[in-house]
Amino acid sequence: GSTIGILGGGQLGRMLAMSAAQLGFRCHIYAPETDSVAADVSAHFTNASWHDRDALTAFAASCDAVTYEFENVPVDPLAAIPTDLLVPGTRALEIAQDRVSEKRFIEEHGGRPAPFALVDQDDELPAAVERVGTPGILKTRRDGYDGKGQWRIDSAGDAQGIRVPLSGCVYERMVQFECEFSVILVRGRDGAVRFWDSTRNVHEGGILVRSELPAPGIVGEQVAEARKLAGKVAEALGYVGVLTSEFFATNDGPVFNEMAPRVHNSGHWTMEGAVTGQFENHIRAVAGLPLGDTASVSDTITMLNLIGPPAMQLRSHLADPANHLHLYGKAEARDGRKLGHITRVG
């Protein structure tokens, strides 16, 4: 059988590997951390640095296709992987790794991010805050996730004392939104595109806590425009696989927040809530197989994240027979860590 390589060893890689196994593929995980929860369910595991080109070359030689579950993989060393093997390609990574290039790319394709200004060093912050206005959020250009690397700025005074990291920041205006939603699409090797329904995504402290269907009416009104943008982006990148774009639904239409060139937490509900889930369709796309139907199986679906440290034995959620429980096998239940999720359909 053939082998699919996955760059990154977190829960997204784990769930991708489980879908790949279902379709008869073997998986080979490449990750720099030894406690990879994806390796637990995979045939092979390479534990090496993102910068080790020899290790990447050897890894690619053992795979028939390579994909990634983590968008902050350093791009330059990926030249060690033959370009026809790596799906989606490095262009999507380059853009999505840097909030500034991402926002510019979106503007070029007719989308609208929140008003923003570049902040390369500390002394540029006051002018950026002045120009864009308050309240706003200062975000690191690179490496942020789950709301990490962000500073809320309510008034000009809040900007004092913030140390801007060397890789720079972007200051963006706080968007007044009715709710948040994401557009999750899958694009096949033949260019066919399918969209899952858009849930309302609820965040607390910058971390996703819940996705729910039905989403409020405003999402229904704005999803067509958001899909048009997401589809254009996928097309422009020659993208293959699952692509996620996050939006704010505002009274002036959808405002683009950020994108992830991968399967996404706000799509976990699709595992039981859609005819074909995001993990399976990503593997199908990467392997050049026909895509599965993305239709929802119910109008009412809720996905709840289980965020550490656990308040109770996680398996006690099974006491409710309606719960589908997914645990990621993480040994340490650190604060704010995603340990699993629950999906309820209907």
The token pair that represents 257 in the structure block:
């927040």
- List Cα–Cα distances, 12 to 109, 192, 209, 337, 338, in angstroms: 28, 23, 16, 14, 11
Q: Where are the alpha helices (DSSP H) in the chain?
A: 11-22, 53-61, 90-96, 99-108, 125-132, 217-237, 270-273, 278-286
Q: Which does 203 bind (CB under 5 to 8 A by kind): Mg ion, ligand ATP, none?
A: ligand ATP
Is 69 a binding residue for ligand ATP by CB under 6 A? The answer is: no
Query: Is 252 annotated in some ligand binding site?
Result: no
Among the residue ranges 104-112, 139-147, 288-296, 318-326, the one whose residues contact ligand ATP (CB under 6 A) = 139-147
Query: Is 112 annotated in some ligand binding site?
Result: no
* Cβ(57)–Cβ(39) below 8 Å: no
Q: Which does 26 bind (CB under 5 to 8 A by kind): ligand ATP, Mg ion, none?
A: none
Residue 27 and residue 41: Cα distance in Å, rounded?
Answer: 9
* Cβ(239)–Cβ(341) below 8 Å: no
Is 215 a binding residue for ligand ATP by CB under 6 A? The answer is: no
Size of the site for ligand ATP (CB under 6 A): 17
Is 204 a binding residue for ligand ATP by CB under 6 A? The answer is: no
Residue 117 and residue 139: Cα distance in Å, rounded?
Answer: 11
Q: Which residue number, 21 or 174, has a Cβ lying nearer to ligand ATP?
A: 174
Q: Which residue number, 264 or 282, has a Cβ lying nearer to ligand ATP?
A: 264
Query: Is 324 annotated in some ligand binding site?
Result: no
Query: Is 157 annotated in some ligand binding site?
Result: no
Is 253 a binding residue for ligand ATP by CB under 6 A? The answer is: no
Residue 189 and residue 238: Cα distance in Å, rounded?
Answer: 9
Query: Is 161 annotated in some ligand binding site?
Result: no
Is 175 a binding residue for ligand ATP by CB under 6 A? The answer is: yes
Size of the site for Mg ion (CB under 5 A): 2
- At its nearest, how many Å lie between ligand ATP and the CB of residue 67? 18
- At its nearest, how many Å lie between ligand ATP and the CB of residue 145? 4
Is 153 a binding residue for ligand ATP by CB under 6 A? The answer is: no
Residue 234 and residue 237: Cα distance in Å, rounded?
Answer: 5
Is 114 a binding residue for ligand ATP by CB under 6 A? The answer is: yes
Residue 258 and residue 248: Cα distance in Å, rounded?
Answer: 10
Residue 247 and residue 264: Cα distance in Å, rounded?
Answer: 14
Angle at Cα 136 formed by Cα 130 and Cα 140, nearest 5°? 100
Residue 229 and residue 1: Cα distance in Å, rounded?
Answer: 37
Whats the size of the chain, residue-wise? 346
- At its nearest, how many Å lie between Mg ion and the CB of residue 115? 18
- At its nearest, how many Å lie between ligand ATP and the CB of residue 157? 20
Work out which of 146, 158, 225, 272 binds ligand ATP, going by CB under 6 A: 146
Over the window 254 to 293, marking each residue x when it contacts Mg ion by CB under 5 A and - when it does not, the resulting string is ----x-----------------------------------
Residue 242 and residue 285: Cα distance in Å, rounded?
Answer: 8
Is 179 a binding residue for ligand ATP by CB under 6 A? The answer is: no
Is 206 a binding residue for ligand ATP by CB under 6 A? The answer is: yes
Residue 83 and residue 76: Cα distance in Å, rounded?
Answer: 12
Positions that interact with ligand ATP (CB under 6 A): 114, 137, 139, 144-148, 172, 174-175, 180, 203, 206, 246, 257-258
Positions that interact with Mg ion (CB under 5 A): 246, 258
Known binding-site residues for ATP equal 99, 139, 144-150, 172-175, 180, 203, 257-258
